[in-house]
Amino acid sequence: MSIKSILVTGASRGIGHAIAEKLSKDGHSLYMICKKNTNLMSDIPGRCFTGDVADHDFIREVFSGIPRIDVLINNAGISYTGLLQDMTKEEWDKVISVNLSSIYNTCHFASAMMVRQHSGKIINISSVWGEHGASMEVAYSASKGGVNAFTKALARELAPSGIQVNAISCGFIDTDMNNIYSEEERSLIMEDIPSGRFGEAAEVADLVSLLIDAPSYLTGQIIGLDGGWML
């Protein structure tokens, strides 16, 4: 395994933090973006940038301080639960900006670097709701559906330059984001998962690690990690 220069967004908690921990243990050189709580990253060697991934100017500044990127991992995301009719335009815009527009921001700069290198991998963290849709999570589902389409389209665009673009479609991963569910709701969800449990952030991190070293012929794929939930 060769040592790579990797950028991880949303690295301060949950899946993003688990990814950063795993890749650090693998020996890679890390750059991390956190909206806040950068003190949580003190245990992970690397450079941490504090700011909003949805802010194009901020992402431009981040990339101006990075000489090379071999792997980009777009993990930053937020959720909104509630009826669409109760959702404000500002709340809609925020979900789409953080979950989807941020991927444009990072890929805009990373892809240019990778094309010059004629190599690179982009891994987007998506959700089963991007494929199937979830009641009360219309904005989140729409944003992740956009991530999936973005992944497939960009994979076609960058394949001639030796760059792979894939996404991980996560099922119910037991993180703070999913603490909005009551114990009764969690029990009902678990009943529908053939594996009989929720996923762990470390398992997403393990799959990211595998994709970093996956064959270059693997591109444009939405890879499910859901315990058989959405087969």
**Is residue 230 assigned to a domain?**
no
Q: How many domains does the chain have?
A: 1
* Range in 101-105, 116-120, 184-188 the model is least confident about: 184-188
For residue 54, give the H/E element and its range: none
**Is residue 156 assigned to a domain?**
yes
| Catalytic, out of 31, 140, 181, 217 | 140
Q: What is the pLDDT of residue 129?
A: 96
**Is residue 144 assigned to a domain?**
yes
Q: Look at residue 101 and tell me whether its pLDDT is greater than 80.
A: yes
**Is residue 151 assigned to a domain?**
yes
Class of residue 90 by CB neighbours under 10 A (exposed 0-12, middle 13-18, buried 19+): exposed
Dump pLDDT digits (tens) for 39-96: 656 789 999 999 999 999 999 999 999 999 999 999 999 999 999 999 999 999 999 9
**Is residue 182 assigned to a domain?**
yes
Better pLDDT: 174 or 167 = 167
Which range of residues forms the domain containing residue 62? Answer: 5-224
Q: Look at residue 183 and tell me whether its pLDDT is greater than 90.
A: no
Residue 188's CATH number: 3.40.50.720
Decide if 140 is catalytic: yes
Q: What is the pLDDT of residue 40?
A: 58
Q: What is the pLDDT of residue 184?
A: 86
Pairing verdict, β 71-74 and 29-34: unpaired
Dump pLDDT digits (tens) for 6-17: 999 999 999 999
The structure tokens 């991530």 sit at: 147
pLDDT-based confidence at residue 178 (cuts at 50, 70, 90): confident
How far is it between the farthest Cα atoms of the chain?
Answer: 52
Ramachandran region, residue 46 (left: φ > 0; alpha: ψ -120 to 50; beta: rest): left
* Range in 19-33, 88-102, 178-192 the model is least confident about: 178-192
- Average pLDDT score, the chain: 94
Q: What is the pLDDT of residue 117?
A: 96
